[in-house]
């Protein structure tokens, strides 16, 4: 007589359960860290990006833990088999994450106009399911460990500890090893393979007979990961910090013009044959104001960030004095040399954070400090606070100038007002420059602030962009009204610049 009773599952020693929990936890945290890099070419890297990712991943884990708790109530063999199936589902959704993001990022961002909700929607679509399925095993493995243990309390504690150790290991591996050495697609391929192996092991332990389904799911997951690997990488260089691209903007192939895109935004454009021409409003203003306000022709300068190194390259051609550039990412500098005709000879390049670079060199002073911190909704907070501006003031010569760009919206101007209000606490003279002419209502505006001990001896100037553009200083009375009405002083303790610069609802 043939029995319909399913075979008893294989023994599951505690060490094996701990190994599985560590591996799954590590893999799930790798996905969370990689998610930020994956989203960066589409929406940038900001407080909003990480907030959305962490919230979505934690929501996925929570829902997965709840479902895993329901599975843990089933007979042991069934619980292990279904958990193995969940891990194969985690492999499928992780393996397809890269392709899904490339397919849906554009339509989702078009459908959801507000940038914050757009970032949240993309995170939810791409990363909720991988996190949900990766959250299923923890309660099942904990239940199995407690059932078979002589000291269930210690076994339960060991499972929790294994999960924490795996999370730490996954975070460190993703941040320090996988992303910079393998890239996002290959890193997710490794995670996909880890889920496949863990899922197959649980199915084997359960003695489940779903060999064909498991095999097809495993091959499909690995195939999706391979498809992502074979797709063109959106990054020319994927560094420890950024996804960096070189985009050819040339109208004439014999006269090349290149745009550097860092994550999702342009960070500088250069033409091989006209190194002194700037292609963006803020670069044109920074270049021209620096040379016009400098106390001497051979002035010294410090750059907060390098980007495409367009302005240092122009300064070289103008024959200014010694330059120092603090560019945190060596890959940005290398790409500027390779694709943007930048010659680093004679320039001091510091591959470190600009604030630290100024802080650790108290005996060095500059005639001009140039900051290009603002991009879109992404602003390095530590470069727009009163404490930083005090540091910059202390590193300027007596007649020196701090220049920085600010991006804001015509009908808000809260970010601009707050930066002005903060600078006014540090510098006697604070000017705001922008393109001459009335802006469109609600339009995105580019400003450059000039701060120092003395005002500029001019109130308009022309800059050699591809066509000559006129820029002017906003009236002092208007600037003061903005600072008084809308500005708040930004400090290291409180600087909500991301909220202040956000698009209007």
**Burial of 123: CB neighbours in 10 Å, binned 0-12, 13-18, 19+:** buried
pLDDT at 228: 85
Residue 471 near residue 478 (C-beta atoms within 8 A) = no
As a whole number of angstroms, the distance between CA 430 and CA 454 comes to: 9
As a whole number of angstroms, the distance between CA 76 and CA 7 comes to: 11
Q: Which of 4-8, 208-212, 213-217, 415-419 has the highest mean pLDDT?
A: 415-419
Residue 8 has pLDDT above 80, yes or no: no
When pLDDT is cut at 50, 70 and 90, the band that residue 377 belongs to is low
Of 470, 272, 296, residue with least CA distance to 397 = 296
pLDDT at 257: 94
Percent of the chain past pLDDT 70, that is, above it, reads 97
pLDDT at 437: 82
Q: Is the dihedral of CA 220, 224, 229, 232 positive or negative?
A: positive
The secondary structure of 75-116 as a DSSP string is -HHHHHHHHHHHHHHHHHHHHTHHHHHHHHHHHHHHH--SHH
Pick 103 or 43 by higher pLDDT. Answer: 103
Average pLDDT over residues 437-450: 87
Reduced to 3 states (helix: H, G, I; strand: E, B; else coil), residue 463 is: strand
Average pLDDT over residues 371-384: 76
**153-157, 212-216, 430-434: which range is least confident on average?**
212-216
When pLDDT is cut at 50, 70 and 90, the band that residue 2 belongs to is very low
**Which residues are CB-contacts of 195 (< 8 A; sequence separation ≥ 6)?**
24, 27, 87, 88, 90, 91, 94, 134, 221
Residue 503 has pLDDT above 60, yes or no: no
Residue 504 has pLDDT above 70, yes or no: no
Beta-bridged to residue 302, according to DSSP, are: 324, 369
When pLDDT is cut at 50, 70 and 90, the band that residue 169 belongs to is very high
Query: What residues does each domain of the chain span?
Result: 14-234, 276-501
pLDDT at 258: 95
* pLDDT mean across residues, the chain: 90
As a whole number of angstroms, the distance between CA 74 and CA 68 comes to: 10
Residue 23 has pLDDT above 90, yes or no: yes
Of 129, 195, 138, 133, residue with least CA distance to 164 = 138
Q: Does domain 276-501 have CATH number 3.40.50.150?
A: yes
Average pLDDT over residues 125-139: 96
Q: Does 276-501 match 14-234 at the fold level?
A: no
Neighbours of 59 (CB within 10 A): 17
Q: Is the dihedral of CA 382, 472, 268, 111 positive or negative?
A: positive
pLDDT, tens only, 408-420: 888 889 999 999 9
Residue 266 has pLDDT above 90, yes or no: no
Helix (H) or strand (E) holding 204: helix 184-206
Average pLDDT over residues 295-315: 94
Residue 1 has pLDDT above 60, yes or no: no
Residue 85 has pLDDT above 90, yes or no: yes
Q: 3-state SS of the chain: helix, strand, coil percent to 5?
A: 55, 15, 30
Pick 313 or 379 by higher pLDDT. Answer: 313
When pLDDT is cut at 50, 70 and 90, the band that residue 115 belongs to is confident
As a whole number of angstroms, the distance between CA 416 and CA 404 comes to: 11
When pLDDT is cut at 50, 70 and 90, the band that residue 67 belongs to is very high
Pick 31 or 41 by higher pLDDT. Answer: 31
Residue 58 has pLDDT above 90, yes or no: yes
The secondary structure of 354-409 as a DSSP string is HHHHHHT-TT--EEEEEE----SS---GGGSSHHHHHHHHHTEEEEEEEEEEEEEE
Q: Does domain 14-234 have CATH number 3.40.1350?
A: no
297: DSSP letter: T
Percent of the chain past pLDDT 90, that is, above it, reads 63
Q: How large is the angle between the packed helices 184-206 and 97-111, nearest 10 degrees? A: 120
pLDDT at 236: 83
Pick 4 or 472 by higher pLDDT. Answer: 472
Residue 265 has pLDDT above 80, yes or no: no
């Amino acid at each position: 007589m043939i029995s319909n009773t399913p075979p008893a599952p294989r023994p599951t020693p505690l060490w094996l359960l701990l190994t599985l929990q560590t591996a799954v936890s590590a893999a799930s945290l790798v996905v969370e860290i990689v998610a930020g890099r994956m989203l960066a070419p589409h929406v940038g890297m900001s407080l909003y990006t990480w907030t959305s990712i962490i919230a979505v991943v934690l929501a996925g884990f929570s829902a997965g833990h709840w479902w895993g708790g329901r599975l843990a109530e089933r007979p042991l063999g069934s619980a292990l088999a279904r958990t193995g199936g969940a891990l194969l589902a985690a492999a499928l959704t992780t393996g397809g994450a890269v392709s899904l993001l490339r397919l849906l990022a554009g339509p989702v961002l078009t459908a959801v106009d507000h940038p914050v909700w757009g970032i949240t929607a993309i995170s939810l679509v791409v990363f909720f399911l991988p996190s949900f399925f990766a959250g299923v095993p923890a309660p099942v493995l904990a239940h199995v460990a407690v059932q078979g243990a002589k000291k269930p309390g210690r076994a339960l504690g060991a499972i929790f500890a294994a999960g924490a150790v795996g999370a730490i290991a996954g975070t460190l591996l993703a941040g320090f090893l996988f992303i910079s050495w393998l890239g996002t697609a290959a890193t997710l391929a490794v995670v996909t393979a880890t889920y496949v192996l863990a899922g197959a092991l649980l199915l084997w332990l359960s003695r489940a007979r779903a060999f064909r389904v498991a095999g097809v799911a495993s091959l499909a997951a690995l195939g999706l990961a391979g498809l992502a690997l074979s797709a063109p990488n959106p990054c020319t260089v994927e560094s420890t910090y950024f996804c960096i691209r070189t985009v050819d903007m040339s109208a004439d192939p014999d006269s090349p013009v290149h745009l550097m895109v860092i994550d999702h935004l342009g960070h500088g454009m250069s033409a091989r044959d006209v190194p002194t021409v700037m292609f963006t409003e803020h670069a044109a203003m920074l270049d021209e104001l620096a040379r016009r306000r400098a106390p001497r022709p051979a002035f010294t300068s410090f750059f907060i960030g390098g980007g495409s190194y367009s302005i240092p390259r122009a300064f070289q051609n103008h024959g200014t004095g010694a330059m120092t550039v603090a560019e945190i990412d060596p890959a940005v500098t290398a790409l500027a040399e390779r694709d943007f005709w930048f010659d680093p000879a004679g320039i001091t390049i510091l591959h470190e954070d600009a604030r630290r670079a100024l802080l650790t060199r108290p005996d060095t002073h500059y005639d001009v400090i140039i900051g290009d911190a603002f991009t879109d909704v992404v602003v390095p907070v530590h470069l727009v606070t009163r404490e930083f501006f005090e540091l910059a003031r202390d590193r300027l010569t007596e007649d020196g100038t701090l220049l920085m760009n600010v991006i804001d919206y015509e009908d808000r101007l809260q970010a601009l007002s707050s930066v002005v209000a903060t600078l006014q606490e540090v510098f006697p003279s604070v000017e705001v420059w922008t393109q001459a002419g009335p802006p469109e209502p609600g339009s995105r505006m580019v400003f450059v602030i000039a701060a120092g001990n003395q005002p500029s001896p001019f109130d308009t100037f022309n800059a050699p962009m591809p066509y000559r553009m006129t820029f002017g200083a906003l009236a002092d009375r208007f600037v003061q009204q903005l600072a008084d009405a809308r500005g708040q002083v930004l400090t290291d303790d409180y600087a909500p610049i991301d909220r202040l610069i956000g698009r209007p609802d």
